Amino acid sequence: MLLLAAAACSRNTPQVLTPIPVDSARVVVEPTHAARTFETISDDPFARVDRMDWPGPNRYRSANGAPGPEYWQQRADYTITATLDTATRAVRGSVTIRYTNNSPDTLRFVWLQVDQNLYRPGSKGSVINPADSRWGARNFQGGYSIARLTVDGKAQAPKVDDTMMRVDLDKPIAPGGGTATIAMDFAFNVPEHGSDRMGRDGSLYEIAQWYPRMAVYDDVRGWNTDPYLGQGEFYLEYGDFEYSVTVPAGYTVAGSGLLQNAGEVLSATERQRLAQAATSTSVVAIISASEAAPRATAGTKTWRFRAQNVHDVAWAAAPDMRWDAVSTGPIAGNDKGVLCQAYYVWPRAGRGWEDAAENTQWTIRTYSTLFYPFPYPQASSVAGPVGGMEYPMFVMVHTAPAAEGAFGTIDHEHGHEWYPMLVGSNERRYAWMDEGFNTYINAFSNELRTSTPVWPSYLANWRHVHDAGIGAPLMTPPDRIDRNALGAIAYRKPAAVMLTLRNHVVGAEEFDRAFREYTRRWAFKHPTPADFFRTIESVSGEDLSWYWRAFWYGNDVLDLAVDGVTNRSEEGQTTAAITVRRKTSIPFPLEMRLRLADGSTQDVRIPPDIWGPNASTRVTAEVTVRSNVVGVRLWPDGTVPDWDESNDTWGNAPARDTMGLVTRGGLNTSVPRAQSNR
């Protein structure tokens, strides 16, 4: 064991410990049930994880987690024209992509994502995912029809591999700013009732992942050609989009970006109301309930949108949508405010959607204040068959018959405007950098709005999948996670371990500063996991290898147990020797509340170094106390993910605190200045 001497401290004050080396050498971590794996000190929990798969620091990515002095990324600007054919339930269009090669490499071919091919019979995704699952094709046969593909005006024959398409180039794209113009026609049929990312419900269409999109070429992996299998979502290049959608004349269209031709598609009354909403912090009905009935209007209308500094666009259309709008008013980084809009088919969307514009306003205000200024001029929420999906400035959310509405889902989907719309991580490989970060920030918004602690639900979801034996390390790609475990491994576990890191390891104020700095550094860029890990370590000043190893690269759980206490009095001073056992591979700081014989309590905090350098599984800490210790409780606030609560106490242990808000403390309203990728 490792014996440490400690001085007494007042409640919630960390103690400084003096290590006393002992002779214990080899130990075996004892599992608490048969599903756990034995690990020895050859798997040192404090070993540096950057020897695993972190790319070494270089001129593109710095050792401190920031973009390097020669960081580069590609750019893709799009012009898209599309027509919604409601008779055949199809979308037809053309896309022109102006691709800029900012890399130091000469490109002799390019890759594009053709996600609609998920719906082709025999696609990889349809084989992996049952037809009736969220990610399955639902017995719908679709896929792209692509024609007239050209590069710089010259016809090319694409090579399609499932949901990826390679285009070989007659003329290579030069490094350092060379360009190519890629154009093609495309068409696909729209599945009924939605299939996770898009779909149709009667005359309502929600259209996403709808045009061939450039794959990312980066400094870490070159071409990122992971296929679209259903669960993994985005990794795309930033650029500007000009797109138009032609629909039956009675339809209303909502989309990413700003509407460019309101004078052609809106009535004078609707334009006046929209202008009013742009400066009003109270909701304005652009199309009211009485006006939302389908309109028998002959012909078609073309709606034109522009979206800048984004990596994707999506849209929805229906003839009977209500449309509400409201401004955030001036918010951090934006004196003009953000236009927040809600579109929903009435009355099918449900009573809850009458509050959706305000829900959207709340989310954009809250995250702009707490984390980073919202960089776009508008944010739209659309009700429909897609249960919850996000795109730049545009989210799709389920219907909400109950009066309490769809706030939780709206808040979650618009949280994605920060991660990964603003901070463009690779979702197809690292769901925790997308869903996990978003679920983490959702904790702040939900606790602010409802004052209901989120910790119990986060931990319960993680516990359920782990105890069922279907857990996985956070670094597992989403398509390799058991679909029944995705909610825990991609969403709640990463949020829980980030909240634990904030509140019990680094400290709330330091972690908030580091997380905001990560967001500022990588706004409109492509961070890797190593960039996040290094930023948190650099800003906080902590070596957190043991934490990344335990919770990101491993699948074990935390379980510390209080084995006993020995009190000793010498020369008028009482010392308690408290022995704690580590029953799994994971070390952790000790937070203990001691009950003393005189009736008082004393809080003690001991850093994780207590478990090194020999990876001991049993340690004793000596603490100076006012009188004999008669009871001990680990984790008195109840927000540490210790798996076996039954061994967290000894003797006449103090009661645990009433569960509070896990986002408490340290979070202020100082946010970084916004930046552009230009």
As a CATH number, domain 74-217 is: 2.60.40
Residue 615 pLDDT class (50, 70, 90 cuts): low
Domain span(s) for CATH 2.60.40 in the chain: 74-217
623-635, pLDDT tens digit by residue?
999 999 999 999 9
pLDDT at 39 over 80: no
Residue with tokens 């990324």: 73
Query: 595: part of which helix (H) or strand (E)?
Result: strand 590-596
Segment 23-37 shows an average pLDDT of: 28
Token pair for residue 85? 């054919």
Q: What local confidence, expressed as pLDDT, does residue 233 receive?
A: 86
Domain span(s) for CATH 3.30.2010.30 in the chain: 267-299+311-409
For residues 373 and 360, is the Cβ–Cβ distance under 8 A? no
Q: How do beta strands 590-596 and 601-606 pair? A: antiparallel
DSSP string, 56-75: PP-SSB-TTSSBPTT----E
Query: 388: part of which helix (H) or strand (E)?
Result: strand 388-391
Q: What local confidence, expressed as pLDDT, does residue 616 receive?
A: 76
In sequence order, what are the residues at sequence separation of 6 or more whose Cβ sits closer than 8 angstroms to the Cβ of residue 253? 245, 247, 265, 303, 315, 316, 317
For residues 278 and 339, is the Cβ–Cβ distance under 8 A? yes
* Length of the chain (residues): 678
Residue with tokens 């769901």: 431
558-583, pLDDT tens digit by residue?
999 999 999 999 988 999 999 999 99
In sequence order, what are the residues at sequence separation of 6 or more whose Cβ sits closer than 8 angstroms to the Cβ of residue 171? 151, 152, 180
Give phi and psi for 512, each to the nearest 5.
-60, -45
Quick count: other Cβ atoms within 10 Å of Cβ 669?
Answer: 8
Query: 379: part of which helix (H) or strand (E)?
Result: strand 378-383
In sequence order, what are the residues at sequence separation of 6 or more whose Cβ sits closer than 8 angstroms to the Cβ of residue 569? 575, 628
Helices (H) and strands (E) in the chain, counts: 12, 35
Alpha carbon distance, N-terminus to C-terminus of the chain: 56
Sign of the CA dihedral with 631 first, then 623, 30, and 22 last: negative
Segment 369-391 shows an average pLDDT of: 94
Q: What local confidence, expressed as pLDDT, does residue 550 receive?
A: 94
Segment 599-623 shows an average pLDDT of: 88
Class of 267-299+311-409 in CATH: alpha beta
- The partner residues of 601 in beta bridges, in order of sequence, read 595
How many percent of the chain have pLDDT more than 70?
88
Quick count: other Cβ atoms within 10 Å of Cβ 625?
Answer: 22
pLDDT at 605 over 50: yes
Token pair for residue 515? 């997380």
Q: What local confidence, expressed as pLDDT, does residue 673 receive?
A: 54
59-68, pLDDT tens digit by residue?
999 999 999 9
DSSP string, 26-52: --EEPPSSTTS--EETTS-TTS-GGGT
96-154, pLDDT tens digit by residue?
999 999 999 999 999 999 999 988 888 888 777 766 566 555 667 889 999 999 999 99
Amino acid letter for position 21: P
In sequence order, what are the residues at sequence separation of 6 or more whose Cβ sits closer than 8 angstroms to the Cβ of residue 48? 545
pLDDT at 401 over 90: no
Q: What local confidence, expressed as pLDDT, does residue 31 receive?
A: 31
Q: What local confidence, expressed as pLDDT, does residue 34 receive?
A: 27
Measured distance CA(221)–CA(2) in Å, rounded: 43
In sequence order, what are the residues at sequence separation of 6 or more whose Cβ sits closer than 8 angstroms to the Cβ of residue 223? 111, 215, 216, 217
Closest residue by Cα to residue 99 from 188, 223, 208, 197 = 223
Segment 403-408 shows an average pLDDT of: 84
Amino acid letter for position 487: G
Q: What local confidence, expressed as pLDDT, does residue 24 receive?
A: 26
Segment 219-229 shows an average pLDDT of: 93
Quick count: other Cβ atoms within 10 Å of Cβ 163?
Answer: 26
- The partner residues of 241 in beta bridges, in order of sequence, read 78, 307
CB-based burial label for 396 (10 Å; 0-12, 13-18, 19+): buried
Q: What local confidence, expressed as pLDDT, does residue 48 receive?
A: 55
User: Average per-residue pLDDT in the chain?
Assistant: 89
Segment 581-597 shows an average pLDDT of: 96
For residues 285 and 322, is the Cβ–Cβ distance under 8 A? yes
Measured distance CA(678)–CA(676) in Å, rounded: 5
For residues 508 and 499, is the Cβ–Cβ distance under 8 A? no
Give phi and psi for 139, each to the nearest 5.
60, 20
Closest residue by Cα to residue 588 from 658, 513, 505 = 505
Q: What local confidence, expressed as pLDDT, does residue 93 receive?
A: 98
Using DSSP, state whether 323 is helix, strand or coil: strand
Closest residue by Cα to residue 608 from 625, 588, 578 = 588
Using DSSP, state whether 414 is helix, strand or coil: helix
Strand order in the sheet with 199-201: 199-201, 204-207, 315-318, 252-255
Q: What local confidence, expressed as pLDDT, does residue 29 receive?
A: 28
Residue 26 pLDDT class (50, 70, 90 cuts): very low
Measured distance CA(91)–CA(87) in Å, rounded: 11
SS3 content of the chain, % helix, strand, coil (to 5): 25, 30, 45
Amino acid letter for position 209: Q
For residues 137 and 125, is the Cβ–Cβ distance under 8 A? yes
Token pair for residue 406? 């769809």
- Please state whether the peptide bond connecting residue 21 to the residue before it is cis, i.e. omega within 30 degrees of 0: no
For residues 118 and 126, is the Cβ–Cβ distance under 8 A? yes
446-497, pLDDT tens digit by residue?
999 999 999 999 999 999 999 999 999 999 999 899 989 999 999 999 999 9
Measured distance CA(526)–CA(214) in Å, rounded: 15
Measured distance CA(45)–CA(550) in Å, rounded: 7
How many percent of the chain have pLDDT more than 90?
78
534-556, pLDDT tens digit by residue?
999 999 999 999 999 999 999 99
Q: How do beta strands 573-582 and 560-570 pair? A: antiparallel
Residue 671 pLDDT class (50, 70, 90 cuts): low
Give phi and psi for 657, each to the nearest 5.
-60, 155
163-193, pLDDT tens digit by residue?
999 999 999 999 999 999 999 999 999 988 7
Quick count: other Cβ atoms within 10 Å of Cβ 484?
Answer: 11
